[in-house]
Structure 1
Amino acid sequence: MKIAYFCPLWGSEAIPFEDFLNRVLEVGYDGVEMSFPLDEKERDQRANLINSYGLKLIAQHWETVDADFVVHSKNFERRLRNLAATNPLFINSQTGKDYYTFEQNNALFILAAEISKETGIPVFHETHRGKWSFAAHVTKGYLDLLPELKIALDISHWCVTAESFLEDQEEAVQAAIRSTAHLHARVGYTEGPQVPDPRVPEWKPALERHFMWWDQVIEKAAKEGEKTFTVTPEFGAPPYMVLHPQTGKPLVNQWEVNAWMMEAFKKRYL
């Protein structure tokens, strides 16, 4: 099974887009994961550039944050349809709200499934704080009722939500792994979704804990006969990244950390 690696646009928005794509190619990523503007001309220009560089695309949705469910649902649909028009491999969606009812979040899943059926673009739903999937045990409740739901697993969020490495939530973790179709490779810890630097010995236990989970995801995909599995190293820009308390500058280089994470995967999963 081939693992395809995707570079997040997050953190590189300030540089010219073609410079970003050139850096993605130089480092050895297979594609990019990103959102797109609602302006059709700008959207299509960026999508065409990605294609011209020979890069694959995962479209990312995160912008729908409206509290009012009716407004939220309309904007959610608009965003997903806009992303589907870029013809990505799939859409990774930060769906719903942690305070929405099951019925409300499920209505968004149904809407996403309808758009997926209409466009032929799969939609996976990311595990993320503030969304339907903000905690392991809550996500398990949804997956028990909706076994067809496919998720993009970013388990770093659950570590900080639970203030643990989920040692006492193995059943919920296994339910998530069974439903995982895409992976965000960021290392969290008990007090935050992103360790300051996964490369240093002080954070090796957290890194190893995440690799224990990621090993199971990769093994499952291989056993199920998947030809390709997608991984996005997604250490984020500030405020995810720890800043120096006096200078306000990042303690590490986000681009370098994500490239290191990809190389760590490549060495582990030859």
Structure 2
Amino acid sequence: MKLQFYCPRWGAEDLPWSAFCKKVKQSGYDGIEAAVPEQVNERAEMTAALKANGLLFIGQYFQSFEKDFDAHQKNYLRYLHLLASAAPVKINAQTGKDYFSFEQNASLIQVAADFSEQTGIKICHETHRNKALFAAHVAHSYLQQLPNLSITADFSHWCSVAESLLEDQKEAMALACKRVEHLHARIGHAQGAQVIDPRLPLYQRALAQHLGWWDAVVSHYRKEGRRVLTVTPEFGPAPYMVQLPFTQMPIANQYEINVYMMQLLKNRYEA
């Protein structure tokens, strides 16, 4: 089994696509994870930069803003089609809302399943705050009732929601680790979805907890004979990244931390 690593566009939006993709390739990534630009010219720039640098692409949907469910579902499908136009390896979707009913969120998940059947593009649903799978115990119910549901595992969000390292959610975590289609490698803690820097001694317990969950994911992949696990190290910029007072300077280097996370996981799972 091998890991494929994807660099988030999030935090590097000020770079032209050509410069961003060149930097990503030089850093050792296999691809990028990003939304698809709605403007035709920028979309062409993105696809050209990906091709020029031999990079793969995972589409990212996060625009779940509409409170009205019918409008929400219509826009959800529109964005899935936009992402599909760039021929992604898969789509990571921040599906639904935490205040939609189970039936409404399940309906969106079914829309995604139908879309996958029509296009052949796998959609994985992110365990993200304020989305359908916003907490471990809530996601556990979805995973139990929807056997074909695959997730993008960003367990850092669940730590923040539960104000813990999920020590009392072992059953939910065990099931979640068996349903991972894509992994977001960010370290959360009891009071937030992102530690300042995973290399700091202060956060070694949180790092170890996340590595334990990822070990379970990798173990399941190997047991099932799956050949590739896609991973996006996804430490983000402000407001995820702490800023210094008044100057608003970031307290750590986002890009450097994500490269560190990539190397850490390469060494851990591919040695």
Separation in structure 2 between the aligned mates of residue 140 and residue 88 of structure 1, nearest angstrom: 28
Separation in structure 2 between the aligned mates of residue 102 and residue 40 of structure 1, nearest angstrom: 36
Separation in structure 1 between the aligned mates of residue 70 and residue 11 of structure 2, nearest angstrom: 31
Q: Residue 198 of structure 1 corresponds to which residue in structure 2?
A: 198
The letter for the 2-side match of 1:167 is E
Shift, 1:229, TM fit: 0.8
Q: Residue 267 of structure 1 corresponds to which residue in structure 2?
A: 267
Shift, 1:41, TM fit: 4.3
Separation in structure 1 between the aligned mates of residue 36 and residue 152 of structure 2, nearest angstrom: 19
Separation in structure 1 between the aligned mates of residue 81 and residue 159 of structure 2, nearest angstrom: 32
| C-alpha contact (below 8 Å) 2:89/2:121 kept by paired residues | yes
What is the aligned residue count? 270
TM-score using structure 2 length: 0.97
| C-alpha contact (below 8 Å) 1:44/1:86 kept by paired residues | no
Separation in structure 2 between the aligned mates of residue 19 and residue 47 of structure 1, nearest angstrom: 13
Alignment deviations for residues 62-96 of structure 1 (CA, whole Å, 9 cap, x no partner): 01211110110111000001101111110000000
| C-alpha contact (below 8 Å) 2:18/2:45 kept by paired residues | no
Q: Residue 220 of structure 2 corresponds to which residue in structure 1?
A: 220
Alignment of 1:51-200 (within 5 A): 51-200=51-200
Alignment deviations for residues 109-159 of structure 1 (CA, whole Å, 9 cap, x no partner): 111111111111111101000000110000000111001100000000000
Q: Supply the RMSD in Å over aligned alpha carbons.
A: 1.0
The letter for the 1-side match of 2:224 is E
Q: Residue 4 of structure 1 corresponds to which residue in structure 2?
A: 4
Shift, 1:53, TM fit: 1.4
3-state SS of paired residue (1:218): helix
The letter for the 1-side match of 2:81 is R
Separation in structure 2 between the aligned mates of residue 67 and residue 108 of structure 1, nearest angstrom: 14
3-state SS of paired residue (1:78): helix
Shift, 1:51, TM fit: 2.3
Alignment of 1:27-66 (within 5 A): 27-66=27-66
| Percent of residue pairs bearing the same amino acid type | 48
Separation in structure 1 between the aligned mates of residue 40 and residue 131 of structure 2, nearest angstrom: 27
| C-alpha contact (below 8 Å) 1:38/1:79 kept by paired residues | no
Shift, 1:43, TM fit: 2.2
Separation in structure 2 between the aligned mates of residue 54 and residue 11 of structure 1, nearest angstrom: 22
Q: Residue 229 of structure 1 corresponds to which residue in structure 2?
A: 229
The letter for the 1-side match of 2:267 is K
TM-score using structure 1 length: 0.98
3-state SS of paired residue (1:238): coil
The letter for the 2-side match of 1:144 is Q
Q: Which runs of 4+ in 1 moved over 6 A?
A: none
Separation in structure 2 between the aligned mates of residue 54 and residue 3 of structure 1, nearest angstrom: 17
The reply to whether residue 239 of structure 1 matches residue 233 of structure 2 is no
Alignment deviations for residues 220-261 of structure 1 (CA, whole Å, 9 cap, x no partner): 111111111111000001000011123211100100000111
